[in-house]
């Protein structure tokens, strides 16, 4: 059993295999993260490392969610989404198909991992106590059917700064209520002025001056109230602007806390085009799945170098570290189409950033990508036998 701690969220996860076998590291990874905004966005990510599984073939990778009013029995889960080796597109099921949901996934085996991710905004699916399960089904090396699963439970906590936003929302509601009462009073006063005008026309002459004076006084008061109402509307507009700034600050504060935690594991760059780059502090045997998972803990992913400007910035950042270590980025040889692709987005890598000393044919049998800080180029290398560091790319929210 493993305990995973995140900002405002605690997820408790444990691995289960349905047939007997020797204890080993779980080949499944189930990550459940919650955003700090409201309504909260739940992101459920399930991935399978083929090198750790007893399966000969993988048939299906699925994500399940616990049913409402569940009594925690073995049948209290319902399937939400799946990806399999017969259909390249991930599928969604049941109530999830009617929700505001984004599903992405990819199927791979032997050398490629399989991944399935659900992102949705829904109080019912992201409430405290809700549980999720990641399950992989396939054929064991001895021919038996085998299923591996991992479950996680959401336990949300409210950040302290939410109390300030709640107070601002309450103040905003009180101001709106006050404006409504003021408009009602103005309407009643207008009715009274109109009535006074009718009375004035029907009174005796010796009351005419008194009525005129009263009417003028009422009109002056009415204008004063109108001016007060205009000022109140201006103040309310300023208050709405402040509320929006507070909500934006809440998102930036969340990202700031994440970056503070990331400094335990990474050397962080300056901000470049709303992005921070982190170079891992410890060299280790490179595992692209584990490295990308570490980046995702801090709302990032393995670096995707898209153009020469980004490449020059990252290379200069690494030169300033004065490190002789190898640094890997998020490039991987897809092998299926002979192209190098970014591991996070699976988009093809641009051709103009490769080292001129390495031909395309030289790259065909190599699986990973390193960055050369001195030459500011990318070079394909073998994924095995290297003690390396890696680069994470962490976007900074702008609104």
Model confidence pLDDT, tens digit, residues 162-180: 566 667 778 878 888 888 8
C-alpha distances (whole Å) from 239 to each of 108, 163, 166, 181, 340 are 52, 17, 14, 19, 51
β-pairing, 131-140 vs 145-156, is antiparallel
Q: Which residues contact 105 (CB under 8 A, 6 or more apart)?
A: 61, 81, 83, 90, 114, 115, 116, 117
Element (H, E) at 395: strand 387-395
Percent over 70 (pLDDT), the chain = 75
- Give the Cα separation of 54 and 138 in Å (integer): 9
Least confident of 194-198, 235-239, 246-250, 271-275: 246-250
Give me the pLDDT at residue 306, please. 96
- Give the Cα separation of 302 and 398 in Å (integer): 21
- Per-residue pLDDT band for 211 (boundaries 50, 70, 90) equals low
C-alpha distances (whole Å) from 10 to each of 14, 43, 66, 76, 158 are 13, 14, 17, 22, 12
Read off the pLDDT of each residue in 391-397 and give the average, rounded to a whole number: 93
Least confident of 141-155, 183-197, 234-248: 234-248
Classify burial at 77, counting beta carbons within 10 Å of its beta carbon; exposed 0-12, middle 13-18, buried 19 or more. buried
- Give the Cα separation of 208 and 212 in Å (integer): 6
Give me the pLDDT at residue 102, please. 78
Look over the chain and give the mean of its residue pLDDT values, rounded to a whole number. 79
Least confident of 56-60, 244-248, 281-285: 244-248
User: Where on the phi/psi map is residue 94: left (φ > 0), alpha (ψ -120 to 50), or beta?
Assistant: left
Answer yes or no: are the C-beta atoms of 50 and 72 closer than 8 Å. no
Least confident of 12-21, 124-133, 289-298: 12-21
pLDDT at 273 over 90: yes
Least confident of 64-73, 142-151, 174-183, 266-275: 64-73
Taking residue 124's Cβ as centre, other Cβ atoms within 10 Å add up to: 11
Give me the pLDDT at residue 397, please. 83
Give me the pLDDT at residue 132, please. 87
- Give the Cα separation of 2 and 110 in Å (integer): 26
- Give the Cα separation of 105 and 29 in Å (integer): 14
DSSP string across 217-236: HHHHHHHHHHHHHHHHHHHH
Give me the pLDDT at residue 329, please. 96
Give me the pLDDT at residue 20, please. 36
- Per-residue pLDDT band for 61 (boundaries 50, 70, 90) equals confident
Q: Which residue has better confidence, 335 or 331?
A: 331
Least confident of 97-101, 140-144, 260-264, 272-276: 97-101
- Give the Cα separation of 81 and 95 in Å (integer): 11
User: Where on the phi/psi map is residue 155: left (φ > 0), alpha (ψ -120 to 50), or beta?
Assistant: beta
Q: Which residue has better confidence, 300 or 54?
A: 300
Enumerate the β-bridge partners of residue 101: 120
pLDDT at 151 over 50: yes
Give me the pLDDT at residue 161, please. 47
Read off the pLDDT of each residue in 128-135 and give the average, rounded to a whole number: 80
- What the block records as the tokens of 197 is 């005008």
β-pairing, 327-333 vs 387-395, is parallel
- Per-residue pLDDT band for 4 (boundaries 50, 70, 90) equals very low
- Give the Cα separation of 390 and 399 in Å (integer): 29
- Give the Cα separation of 116 and 135 in Å (integer): 11
Q: Which residue has better confidence, 148 or 163?
A: 148
Give me the pLDDT at residue 277, please. 97
* Cis peptide bond upstream of 323, omega within 30: no
pLDDT at 197 over 80: no
Across 66-70, 331-335, 345-349, the highest mean pLDDT is recorded for 345-349
Q: Tens digit of pLDDT for each residue in 337-388?
A: 879 999 999 999 999 999 999 998 899 889 999 999 999 999 999 988 788 9
- Give the Cα separation of 306 and 118 in Å (integer): 26
Percent over 90 (pLDDT), the chain = 28
pLDDT at 38 over 50: yes
Q: Helices (H), strands (E): how many in the chain?
A: 5, 20
DSSP-derived letter for residue 272 is: S
């Amino acid at each position: 059993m493993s305990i995973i701690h995140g900002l405002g969220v605690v997820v408790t996860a444990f691995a289960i295999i349905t047939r007997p076998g020797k204890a080993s590291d779980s080949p499944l990874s189930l990550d459940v993260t919650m955003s700090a905004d409201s309504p909260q966005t739940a992101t459920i990510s399930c991935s399978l490392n083929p090198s750790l599984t007893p399966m000969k073939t993988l048939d299906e990778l699925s994500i399940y969610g616990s049913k409402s009013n569940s009594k925690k029995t073995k049948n209290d889960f319902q399937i939400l989404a799946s990806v399999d080796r017969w259909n390249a597109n991930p599928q969604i099921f049941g109530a999830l198909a009617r929700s505001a949901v984004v599903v992405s996934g990819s199927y791979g085996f032997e050398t490629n991992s399989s991944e399935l991710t659900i992102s949705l905004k829904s109080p019912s699916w992201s409430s405290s106590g809700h549980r999720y399960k990641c399950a992989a089904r396939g054929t064991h090396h001895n021919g038996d059917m085998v299923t591996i699963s991992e479950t996680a439970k959401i336990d949300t906590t409210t950040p302290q700064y939410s109390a300030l936003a709640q107070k601002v929302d309450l103040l905003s509601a009180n101001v709106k209520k006050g404006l409504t009462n003021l408009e009602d009073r103005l309407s009643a006063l207008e009715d009274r002025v109109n009535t006074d005008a009718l009375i004035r026309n029907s009174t005796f002459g010796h009351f005419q001056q008194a009525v005129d004076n009263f009417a003028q006084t009422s009109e002056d008061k009415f204008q004063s109230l109108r001016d007060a109402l205009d000022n109140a509307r201006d103040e309310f507009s300023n208050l709405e602007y402040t509320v929006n700034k507070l909500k934006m600050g809440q998102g930036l504060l969340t990202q700031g806390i994440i970056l503070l935690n990331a400094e335990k594991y990474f050397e962080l760059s300056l901000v470049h085009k709303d992005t921070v780059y982190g170079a891992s502090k410890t060299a280790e045997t490179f595992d692209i799945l584990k490295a990308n998972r570490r980046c995702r803990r801090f709302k990032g992913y393995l670096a995707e170098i898209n153009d020469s400007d980004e490449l020059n910035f990252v290379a200069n950042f690494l030169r300033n570290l004065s490190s002789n270590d190898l640094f890997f980025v998020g490039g991987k040889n897809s092998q299926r189409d002979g192209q190098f692709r970014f591991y996070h987005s699976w988009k093809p890598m641009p051709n103009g950033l490769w080292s001129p000393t390495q031909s395309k044919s030289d790259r065909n049998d190599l699986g990973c990508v390193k960055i050369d800080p001195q030459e500011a180029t990318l070079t394909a290398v073998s994924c095995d036998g290297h003690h390396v560091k890696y680069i994470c790319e962490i976007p900074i929210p702008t609104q």
